[in-house]
Amino acid sequence: MINSLTDWRNQMEKKIHWIPAIPRRLEKKVAIYCRVSTNDMEQLNSLTNQISALTRMVATVDQWRLVDAYIDIASAKSKSPRKDFIRMIDDCKKNKIDIVITKSLSRFGRDTIDTLEALKELRESNVRVIFEQENLDTAETDSSLMISIVESFAQAENESRSQNIRWGIKERVAKGTSKLYDRKCYGYDHDEKGKLVINSNESKVVENIFNWYLSGKSVLGILKELEIQEIKSPTGKDKWCKRTIDVMLSNEKYVGRARLLDSVSGDVEYLVEENNTPIISSSVFNRVQEEKIKRSNVIKNEDKTIRKQKKYSSKKK
């Protein structure tokens, strides 16, 4: 029998077992860094995917707590500002971040030097960096080894980027969506959709240049005529370049055709008819090409290129 409240308390104290609280494991403050080069739809979708994937990655570790997301839309060019990257480095120095997670080396730094300098700053601030795509973690990688890895990945990334760019260009060319078809030349402007439209003033000059050549003027004679008439060159200068005239007289865009060449082999990849509104008729253009061959002092055969014995003259014979 418990005779008093004091006896009851004494009995209860004998039955209570005190269990000390388990100390809470320290959380790591985690930030994610994402970057894309442009704000077009494809790149913005890539940005969304980066943010989503890295956020899920943080959520898989109990001790990680996402404190901020740093996002830049900036190209790989050195002069392009990365405001959030700078803000992230500054926050790391202020001990606001313990771990930085990013998609890849190419998203984190613009080049090898840029990447190594940033990693050095973060290492001095005791900040761990994880590259998800390459499965690299600065907490598990020796500094000298990291340098070698960064350099090798940078080289591979550049080679891959070059191949991807070339492949992309060929695909757009094949589908007829390449902007190279509508590369502007003298005599044309771009409309709001980037398509070639005739510039009325410049097109008259183009017509005159073709007609002057057919009437017997040499390229030098055409240059003098343009100077007499005070017609500015395509770059706005008072004097035209001889090569500019020579290239114009062979430019198929003036008859509405777009010819794209392989930059390495020089072979024609695609020839598009009716690409744009012509300025010169096909008959005039063809006569000019024939005339250029007649006036040339170079003869090409299967063995080699040789020059004619007589003195070269670009004038009509």
Q: How many domains does the chain have?
A: 2
| Domain contains 73 | yes
Residue 81, pLDDT score: 81
**pLDDT, tens digit, 9 for 90 and up, residues 120-151:** 899 899 999 999 988 888 888 765 666 666 66
Range scoring the smallest mean pLDDT among 22-26, 29-33, 160-164, 270-274: 160-164
**pLDDT, tens digit, 9 for 90 and up, residues 24-51:** 567 899 999 999 888 888 888 888 999 9
Same domain, 154 and 113: yes
Which structural domain range is residue 117 located in?
Answer: 28-166
**How far is the CA of 296 from the CAs of 217, 221, 240, 254, in angstroms?**
14, 16, 21, 22
- Cα separation, 116 vs 192, whole angstroms: 43
**pLDDT, tens digit, 9 for 90 and up, residues 50-59:** 999 999 999 9
* pTM of model > 0.75: no
Residue 314, pLDDT score: 52
pLDDT at 287 over 60: yes
Contact between 206 and 190 under an 8 Å Cβ cutoff? The reply is: no
Same domain, 157 and 52: yes
What CATH number has the domain bearing residue 213? Answer: 3.90.1750.20
Same domain, 95 and 224: no
